Chains A and B, each alone.
Chain A
Amino acid sequence: MISDITIKMARCKGCGICVAFCPKQVLALDELSKVQVVNGEACIACGQCELRCPDYAIFVDKKVSQ
């Protein structure tokens, strides 16, 4: 996993924009319609999800190399 994905659950409204624009299918909505990371290993830290999140609920940071 090359990225840290942080989700502020209290802000997420489950609109699905991040899921739709993720090029690697890293994200999905759970049964309560909140975003969850389902395939973190595939994340390329492109930041498309964070960029368009209308609720400032998801943040992606590239991991600093050890």
Chain B
Amino acid sequence: MNKARLMQGNEAVAEGAIYAGVRFFAGYPITPSTEIAETMAKLLPQVGGKFVQMEDEIASMGAILGASLAGQKVLDATSGPGFSLKQELIGYAACAEIPAVLVDVQRVGPSTGQPTSPSQGDVMQARWGTHGDHPVIALAPWTVREAFDATVMAVNYAERFRTPVILLMDEIVGHLRERVVLPEPGELPVYARRQPKCTRSEGYQPYTPEEDLVPNVADFGEGYRIHVTGLIHDETGFPSGSPSVTEKSIRRLHEKISRAEDEIIHYDEFFLEDADYAVVTFGGVSRTAYEAVQNARRQGIKVGMVRLMTIWPFADKMIARLAKQVQGILVPELNYGQLVGEIERAAAGQCPVKLLAKYNTEIFTPTEIETAIKNLCAGGRI
């Protein structure tokens, strides 16, 4: 059995990536994500993989997409400003259906902002950062061990759905050190790259979807001689200007993810059985919220908590259920208010949804959230 190790969240991401079969990383240094690149630079050559420090974030994103097309599982890590630079190629990966995982360790923005301070300000950038209509999967871990597991899951989803997956870390989890026992090989499932089911001479088309709406695009160098483009293309992979092809293609990109939502959307529920109120959180803030909810419970307040691991696609159904059950939802976020809008939308007026926003570089204290819970119960201001 693996021994317990004291490990940082960012290191756990790198370890998780290796476990999931990632053998190529390209990146550019940026606080507070840099330890992921540093750990990958050390670990990858030990397993025969490759690490390249590229000249900027755009180049790193291009390099991982190239390596992915050539058959490797790939990872790249960055923070807010770098995430912005990568957006164009995230869209490319969505359109050309290239598996890739991008870690965003969030820091305070906009712009250079507060580079070493925690934030959750990229929730919407993760969803809508690139132009056009496209699907995305984003996962937000709250512990060091989950940073490992979520990375494995992110790589699996990228491969299975042939889509970019965002690991939406925050500085709290990225720089947190915890005692962890990593899983043994075989303990977590690892999804292998999808392969074509017929040969070129049997009429193979790279973008013909399987039943799950995901195509088995051949890797380069396997004799299929495919064409890959960021232009809207038909099943042959070649560009098409046709309105019907465009519509069909954009719809399929969305539906391959939306159909599998129940499988992709993960969350934890705490103390909800008898709850009259609920706190909905994600990432590092969930740790503080959990403490605050326990404190409130000890004082007899019937408050529960939902911790979202999957941010995108959004857990609409669960929030709708929750809003029906409780008399109010509190959303503490380390930003000016982002995910709260989604929660309000999904709650659809069934109960009040209150934001507790913080964006001054400091993390929440349990007392702050506890006070907000009490204010929520009293029907007053948060």
Complex A–B touching at CB under 8 A:
no
B residues within 8 Å of A by Cβ? none
